[in-house]
């Protein structure tokens, strides 16, 4: 069942909008009961809280006319449908309505049948737009078209070392991108096509593309391999079943280099990296393959060079098995769930059961302190607060039993979590406090707006609005109105000035609009409020 769309009717003639509300069967047309606004400014304030799907507005209104309202709505909510109705049959108005992409320009008096047809047509358009957004087949088609590019992006992230995510996250990415990396062993090969030995009439870029296509045709016949381009080279991720297959892979790559030279006249050198059991370690295999390519100055070009054969000393991996679990711990420190943090610490500390010597355990404890220190420093945390003023943390932890070390780590991480949470809260409160101070100092500025405050604070309007509403429970415009109205009350009761002077003093250039807002806020006009007459 389709949802009901929201409508806002904007006109300073109250009877006109009430008549429209009564004469249209909103429920049958698929719309909820309209929200009413008496002018453009009020409509914008209402829209800020709940953006409407359709706005029907008069042109001639006080404080802000309908065309200006339409323009402001379209700037902020481009998908809002606008209907303009007016008692003026003027070409310039109609032309401006067309420029603003209004759905209709209707003349008063409004005919209920005609208006029902207009809303029925708009409902159909809204449904069509939502159907297009929900069109799964179209999205799937778009996704499939984009898939090769996204897959290459993922392979790139692996060789750049950005693929070190948790096992669960890694499996989700593979599923989303429809990638099957079954291994169990993996090797990265880098295919370098010389740019200084290019056949006449062929550009280096096209020559490299020709070599890649040839490799895809020939090497895929023998190996499970993924091809993608990176830093002007063709990179291959090869899956193998046994380590002994590496020699055969090098031989295949070597034969291909000769084949490429024969068919395309290209000088191709392939660097073969080290074997890894985890695709998330492919950055090390890639690094080895790149190093192997650099050895062409010694061993020559147009051949395959295996780093495992020529420089086995370069094969050492710097990543330990527990890095992933430690990253998960620090990730949980940044969040605010203490229970999940404790679980991550327990999972990480479980590896201490594998240690076979006291020395190994002590090295682990000291390295753990170094990692926590590095995290705290990078996040600008007070180290004395983190380590609770301990003079020699290293000496402390190496003397702790396994359970005590686990508890120490848990307590330390919880302290860091609390500090970070306090910093976030303090930053947002300081941020909002500065904005409120600025408003209290500048409420008399007639041009005061969200944009002006954001410019003063050096932040985006989107971020500002989100934080301000979260901290104060109200949108910025409502806060500004409250400040101005409260100051207006003080002036009304404390001074014997005319209303238009008070309006000027609190930031309103139009005294009529000031009176309108005041009455809306307090239920009576400024003059009656001064006389002691209160609403209700």
For residues 253 and 275, the answer to whether their CB atoms sit within 8 Å is: no
Percent share of the chain, pLDDT over 90:
40
**499: CB partners within 8 A, 6+ apart:** 511, 514, 515, 526, 527
Residue from 530, 476, 536 nearest 499 by CA? 530
Question: Is residue 12 scored above 50 in pLDDT?
Answer: yes
The span from the CA of 81 to the CA of 62, in Å, is 22
Cβ–Cβ contacts within 10 Å for residue 182, how many? 8
User: Quick one: pLDDT band at residue 316, thresholds 50, 70, 90?
Assistant: very low
User: Quick one: pLDDT band at residue 65, thresholds 50, 70, 90?
Assistant: confident
Question: Is residue 317 scored above 60 in pLDDT?
Answer: no
User: Quick one: pLDDT band at residue 320, thresholds 50, 70, 90?
Assistant: very low
Residue from 519, 436, 513 nearest 474 by CA? 436
The full length of the chain comes to: 536
Quote the DSSP letter at residue 276.
Answer: B
The span from the CA of 17 to the CA of 496, in Å, is 38
- For the record, the structure tokens of 119 come out as 């809303």
pLDDT at residue 313, rounded to an integer: 52
Residue from 358, 184, 214, 349 nearest 275 by CA? 184
- For the record, the structure tokens of 270 come out as 């392939």
CA-based radius of gyration for the chain: 34
Give the mean model confidence (pLDDT) for residues 374-385. Answer: 86
Q: Which of 150-154, 365-369, 464-468, 511-515 has the lowest mean pLDDT?
A: 464-468
Q: What is the mean pLDDT of the chain?
A: 86
pLDDT at residue 91, rounded to an integer: 60
The span from the CA of 445 to the CA of 453, in Å, is 11
Between 94 and 210, residue with greater pLDDT: 210
For residues 385 and 354, the answer to whether their CB atoms sit within 8 Å is: no
* β strands within 179-294, DSSP E: 185-193, 224-230, 233-240, 268-272
Peptide bond into 158 cis (omega under 30): no
* pTM value > 0.75: no
Residue from 21, 3, 2, 1 nearest 11 by CA? 21
Between 324 and 254, residue with greater pLDDT: 254
Which pLDDT tens digit goes with each residue over 476-534? Answer: 999 999 999 999 999 999 888 899 999 999 999 999 999 999 999 999 999 999 888 76
pLDDT at residue 296, rounded to an integer: 84
Facing residues of 185 across strands? 240
Question: Is residue 71 scored above 80 in pLDDT?
Answer: yes
Helix, coil or strand: residue 224:
strand
Quote the DSSP letter at residue 220.
Answer: T
- Which pairs from 169-172 meet CB under 8 Å and 24+ separation? 170/279, 170/280
pLDDT at residue 141, rounded to an integer: 80
Place of tokens 């355990």: 361
For residues 464 and 435, the answer to whether their CB atoms sit within 8 Å is: yes
- For the record, the structure tokens of 237 come out as 């991720």
Question: Is residue 321 scored above 70 in pLDDT?
Answer: no
User: Quick one: pLDDT band at residue 193, thresholds 50, 70, 90?
Assistant: very high
User: Quick one: pLDDT band at residue 97, thresholds 50, 70, 90?
Assistant: low
Give the mean model confidence (pLDDT) for residues 387-411. Answer: 87
Give the mean model confidence (pLDDT) for residues 44-65. Answer: 89
| 494 burial via Cβ count (<10 Å: 0-12, 13-18, 19+) | exposed
The span from the CA of 420 to the CA of 412, in Å, is 12
Question: Is residue 359 scored above 90 in pLDDT?
Answer: no
The three state secondary structure string of 145-173 is HHHHHHHHHHHHHHHCCCCCCCHHHHHHH
- For the record, the structure tokens of 474 come out as 């109200």
For residues 17 and 9, the answer to whether their CB atoms sit within 8 Å is: yes
φ, ψ (nearest 5 deg) of residue 106: -110, 140
Peptide bond into 184 cis (omega under 30): yes
Give the mean model confidence (pLDDT) for residues 190-194. Answer: 95
The three state secondary structure string of 188-217 is EEEEEECCCCCCCCCCHHHHHHHHHHHHHH
- For the record, the structure tokens of 392 come out as 């020699």
């Amino acid at each position: 069942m389709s949802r009901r769309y929201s409508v806002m009717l904007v006109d300073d003639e109250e009877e006109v909008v009430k008549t429209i509300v009564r004469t249209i069967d909103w429920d049958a047309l698929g719309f909820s009961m309209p929200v009413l606004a008496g002018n453009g400014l009020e409509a914008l304030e209402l829209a800020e809280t709940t953006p409407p799907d359709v706005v029907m507005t008069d042109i001639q209104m006080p404080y802000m006319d309908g065309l200006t309202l339409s323009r402001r709505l379209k700037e902020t909510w481009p998908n809002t449908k606008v209907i303009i109705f007016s008692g003026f049959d003027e070409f310039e108005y109609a032309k401006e309505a067309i420029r603003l992409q209004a759905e209709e320009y209707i003349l008063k008096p409004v005919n209920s049948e005609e208006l029902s047809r207009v809303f029925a047509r708009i409902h159909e358009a809204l449904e069509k737009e939502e159907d297009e957004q929900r069109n799964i087949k179209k999205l799937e088609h778009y996704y499939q078209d984009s898939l090769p590019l996204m897959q290459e992006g993922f392979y790139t992230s692996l060789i750049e070392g950005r693929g070190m995510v948790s096992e669960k996250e890694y499996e989700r990415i593979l599923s989303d991108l429809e990638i099957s990396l079954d291994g169990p062993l993996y090797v990265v090969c880098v295919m370098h096509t010389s740019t200084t030995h290019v056949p006449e009439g062929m550009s280096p870029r096209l020559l490299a593309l020709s070599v890649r296509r040839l490799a895809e045709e020939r090497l895929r016949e023998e190996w499970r391999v993924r091809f993608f381009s990176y830093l002007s080279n063709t990179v291959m991720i090869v899956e193998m079943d046994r380590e002994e297959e590496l020699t055969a892979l090098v031989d295949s790559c070597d034969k291909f280099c000769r084949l490429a030279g024969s068919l395309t006249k290209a000088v191709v050198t392939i660097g073969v990296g080290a074997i890894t059991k985890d695709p998330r370690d492919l950055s090390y295999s890639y690094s080895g393959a790149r190093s192997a390519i650099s050895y062409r100055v010694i061993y020559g070009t147009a051949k395959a060079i295996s780093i495992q054969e020529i420089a086995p000393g370069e094969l050492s991996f710097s990543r330990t098995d527990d890095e992933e679990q430690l990253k998960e711990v620090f990730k949980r420190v940044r969040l605010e769930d203490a229970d999940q943090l404790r679980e991550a610490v327990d999972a990480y500390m479980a590896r201490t059961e594998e240690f076979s010597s006291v020395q190994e355990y002590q090295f682990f404890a000291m390295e753990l302190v170094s990692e926590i220190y590095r995290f705290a420093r990078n996040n600008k945390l007070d180290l004395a607060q983190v380590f609770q003023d301990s003079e020699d943390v290293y000496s402390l932890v190496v003397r702790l039993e396994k359970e005590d070390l686990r508890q120490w780590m848990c307590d330390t991480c919880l302290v860091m979590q609390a500090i970070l949470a306090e910093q976030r809260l303090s930053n947002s409160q300081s941020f909002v406090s500065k904005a409120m101070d600025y408003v209290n100092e500048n409420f008399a500025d007639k041009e005061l707006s969200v944009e002006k405050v954001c410019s003063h604070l050096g932040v985006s309007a989107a971020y500002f609005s989100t934080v301000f509403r979260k901290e104060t429970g109200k949108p910025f415009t409502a806060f500004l109105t409250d400040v101005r109205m409260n100051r207006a009350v003080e002036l009304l009761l404390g001074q014997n000035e005319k209303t238009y002077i008070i309006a000027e003093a609190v930031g309103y250039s139009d005294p009529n609009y000031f009176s309108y807002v005041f009455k809306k806020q307090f239920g009576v006009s400024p003059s009656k409020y001064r006389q002691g007459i209160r609403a209700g």
